[in-house]
Each structure stands twice: as C-alpha cells, then as structure tokens.
Amino acid sequence: MQSQGAEKAHFHWADEVAGELEKRGKKHVVETGTSISGVPHVGNASDVIRGDAVRKALAERGVEVELIWIADDGDPFRKVPRGMESLQDFLGFPVYDIPDPSKCHKNFVDHFAKPFISDLEKFGVRPKVYSGIELYRTGSLLGEIKTALKQRNEIREILNQFRKTPLSEDYLPWSPVCHKCGRISTAKPVSWDNGNLISYECSGVDAETQSEALKEVSGCGHKGVSDITKGEGKLPWRVEWAARWSHFKVTCEPFGKEHATVGGSYDTSKIISKEVFNWEPPLPVVYEFFTLNGEKISSSRGNVITLADWLGICEPEVLKFFMYKRLQKQRDIKLDMVPNMVDEYDQGERLFFNLEEESAESEDKYKRMYSLSQVGKPELLQVPFTLCSMLAQIPNVDLNRVVKQLESSGYPKFSLEKMKKRIHAAGNWVAKYGPEHLKFTLLENPDEVSGEINALQARGLSILAGRLDVPYTPEEFHKLIYQTARDIGLEPNSLFEAIYLSLIKKHRGPKAAALILSLDKDFVKKRFTFFKQ
C-alpha cells in the first residue's frame, strides 16, 4: 500500500499536511475531540476520521504519530436534545454529571461516547481516548491550571483583543462547578488564594457566551470554594484548548470552520499556547460542515445520521472516501443518493487496482483517497450498489450462480465476502431510503397480471425466454431487449413494462437486464412463457 500512495503523495491534503508536519519533527500527536451534547453523528466524527488520514499519511512516511480523542464532557449542557425532555432540569450541568436517560450506562456521556468510539473502530479509526473532565478530576492538567492562574493577566489581555466587552481586571480563568446546584454555567470565580482554592458565587450565566436555553437558567446564589486539585471546575474553552495542546504535545488538529474564523477560538488559543504555555500551536486542518439531506445536522432537531446508522446502509470506506475529498467545500450527505457515493468510491477502487487508466490529477486524488479510506487490506469488489440492492430483494438468491454470471460478463475476480456485506447494506438502504422503482417483491402468481400483458408483449417475453441459454452481460441483454421489441414491431418501453409486470407486478423497476440475469434461469423461462397465447 505504501507504493500505491507514495508516488502521488502530494495530490491529497492529508499528504500535504503530513509533509508540513514532517518539517516540524519526527514525533507527532494529532488531537481530535467531540462535544458530547447528544447523539454523536457523522459530523462529529469528521475531525476524528480526517485526523486519522493525517495519522496514516505520517505513519506511511515512517514518522512516529499518535491520534488522540478527547470527550468535551466538562462543557455545560446547553440544549436538551429531542426526545430527552426529562433532562430539562440538568441544563447548565457539566454533561459528565448528567445521568444516562436510558439508565444503561454510568452517565449521559458514557451512553453516547462508548458506542461512538466502538463505531469508529469499525471505520478503522482507533484513537487513544480521554475524558476531558477526568483530566481535571485526576489532576492531569493541574500544572496547566496553575500556569493559567498565575498568568491570568496575560490571558485576560489576549482574550480582550477578541471580545466586545472587555474582561474585568479581577478575571480568573476558571469555571467552577457549584457545590449546591451542580451547574458549571452559573458559578462565577471571585478570588484565588494563590494556592489550590478559588472562591465562587453562583450568580448566573454570561449572556455573551451562552446558548439561548442557558440564558434562562438562573444561579442559585450559593457561595463556595472550588478546589482545582479535585477538578471542581474547568478552564474556559479557549484557555483549555491551548492547555491541552501543551499537555499532550499536540502538533496537528482538525476542526470545523467555526473555530477558524478571524478572532475565533483558534486565533485566540494559538496566542495563549505560545505566550502562556510556551507551546507552538498545532497545524490546523480546517474543514467545512456536512449537511444531511440539504439541512443542518442537528441532534436537537432530530436531523442526524450516526456512524452506526451509516454502517447499516453502506460500507465504512465509502463515507471515509467522501470525507477525504477537498476540505474547503460544504458537502451534503443525501441518503437517497448513496449509490452515487458508492459509484464514486468504486471509481477510486478501479484506479487503485489499475483497472482504469489514469488521465488527470483528479483521478490521482481518487486513487489516494481510496488508499487512505481502507479499513483493512484493499480488496476488489466493483459490483454496483444498485445491483446489490436488487439482489437483496430476491428470496434465496444463489450467489454462486450470480458470481459466475458476473465473471462471465467480464467482471474481474472480486471478494465474495465484500459482496455479501454490500448486499446486506444495500438491502437496508433500499428499504429505508431507496426510490420506489428500486423496491420490489417477486410476483408469485402470474395470473394477477395476465390481463395486463397483450399478445405482442407476450410474444416478446417468449422470444427472450428462448435466448436465456446464451451467456450475456447485462449490457448485451439490455440491447437484446431493445432489438427484440423492434423486430416484432413493439415499442421497447412496452416490452420493458411487460418484463416488470411479469416479474414484480410493477410498471417500472430496477435495470431489467440485470434483474433477469440475477434470477434463476428456469424461473424466468417459465414466467416469460406463461403469457404465450
């Protein structure tokens, strides 16, 4: 696999990033993270999957590299996801401290994070996993916290460069968790004893930085003391981000464009990283958002698709291939167009296995995207997704016969196991998202449609039945259907309609030639001659 990718390494963004990182040194950490505010979806997975492409590109160069993932589970619970209205009273809590609404894990975070990480492994992505809040509660970030507190004035000056309302001179970079009400969004630091304790008052939220839902959450008025050694709070996000970079020696981080705006999180954190923590900020890999069926992916709106959902309808490599396209372009995941995504992936496969001549730089990129997207050893398939969706709907389909038919049609030798997996996924896809003309059930009793097929159509079906003993490719049989119709003075569309009526009791359906050749030959012969008058 090294030779396949290395020749054209400069044609893909992951290789360009790897080249820049290699100039920085021979040891790298790629950091990724996810805010666990609800069901993690494919949008949340994009920085981890893209970060893994950088990891892979570096590893191919012989560079020591580690991919890490941090759950941002100390963040306040800002909005109640759809269907979880029972958690309304936990608005403003650190998400780590919210109970599991399904009562099957120790908390809200585990309920969503554990399946997410497990699904990432099925995509071949295996980061080292950390809990953001446990980094505080185990004392792992204590050194960085103390540095931030000691240099609070420098941090305040940096942050004020990017704020509409300047922070006051008594600013402390710490967000305490209120011991009484449990919220992190309403407790404000008041003073620091220059040691491990920070006094706070639970007085309300910062309207400039919080969500609309959190603006309605009132402080309980409690006054208490937060112990930084016990992680009874956290650093504000922009300070925390820089602290993590320093702590883990992060050299690269993928993130969405909202963090990369002028004056945004990255602009702020990179200055804090250099001037406060004395760490060169990581090379950013900035990407545009995904949308789903033309709309924003949103847990609160219920417009989501998870990695597990995707694995039910398509191979993981196809989604990785899609994510490895150009970063600076917003892309829409259209679930009814999954076959198009697979077709594009299959083109990359043809290029990788030298089944199609390379003629342009864009095709070199496809070849490299295919290489990077592989979960295991690359294996050829090339059986179209729509054909697999059709095979999934044929009861007791004889796959050995289908394989022989495909091989006789000129298909290269392919992985039967990969084909079985694609058939299973395509069957799920067509049932849930496929267009009506691709959905069918084989007609058991041809008497049900005998009155809808005229004599000329029946003659055409009978002629086709007599020619099934000759091996055909789907393309050849498609042409034969047209020629048969013309030879008997029948409009080709009329013969196609008769084929669909006789087999699936519909006027339209999947590609007729592929459907006929996928079915048992004797079954088709008997069905096509049934209508002969």
Instruction: Give the number of other CB atoms < 10 A from CB of residue 215.
Output: 13
Alpha carbon 390 to its chain centroid, in Å, reads 25
State the DSSP H helix or E strand holding residue 29, giving kind and residue range, or none if neither: strand 27-34
Give 491-516 pLDDT, tens digit per residue: 999 999 999 999 999 999 999 999 99
Angle between helices 265-275 and 152-160 (to 10 degrees): 150
Q: Is 141 helix (H, G, I), strand (E, B) or coil?
A: coil
Model pLDDT for residues 204-254, shown as the tens digit of each residue:
766 445 556 677 788 999 999 999 999 999 999 999 999 999 999 999 999
pLDDT grade for 11, boundaries at 50, 70 and 90: confident
- For residue 250, give the nearest of 68, 411, 401 by alpha carbon: 68
Whether the pLDDT of residue 189 is over 90: the answer is yes
Q: 156-165, 279-288, 306-315, 351-360: which range is least confident on average?
A: 351-360
Tell me 445's DSSP state: -
Domains and CATH numbers, the chain: 2-142+237-292 (3.40.50.620), 174-234 (no CATH), 437-530 (1.10.10.350)
Confidence tier at 64 by pLDDT (50, 70, 90) = very high
Pairing label, strands 233-234, 175-176: antiparallel
The pTM score is 0.92
Name 353's Cβ contacts closer than 8 Å, sequence gap at least 6: 378, 380, 412
The answer to whether residue 146 scores a pLDDT higher than 60 is yes
**Strand, helix or coil for residue 524:** helix
Question: Tokens at residue 184, please?
Answer: 């992190």
Question: How far is the C-alpha of 69 from the C-alpha of 313, rounded, in Å?
Answer: 26
Model pLDDT, residue 213: 60
Contact (CB, 8 A) for 27 and 289: no
Residue written as tokens 């997975």?
45
Q: Which helix (H) or strand (E) holds 474?
A: helix 474-487
Residue written as tokens 């999957």?
49
How many angstroms separate the CA atoms of 156 and 171, rounded?
Answer: 7
Q: How many angstroms separate the CA atoms of 460 and 142, rounded?
A: 81
Which phi and psi angles does 486 have, rounded to 5°?
A: -65, -40
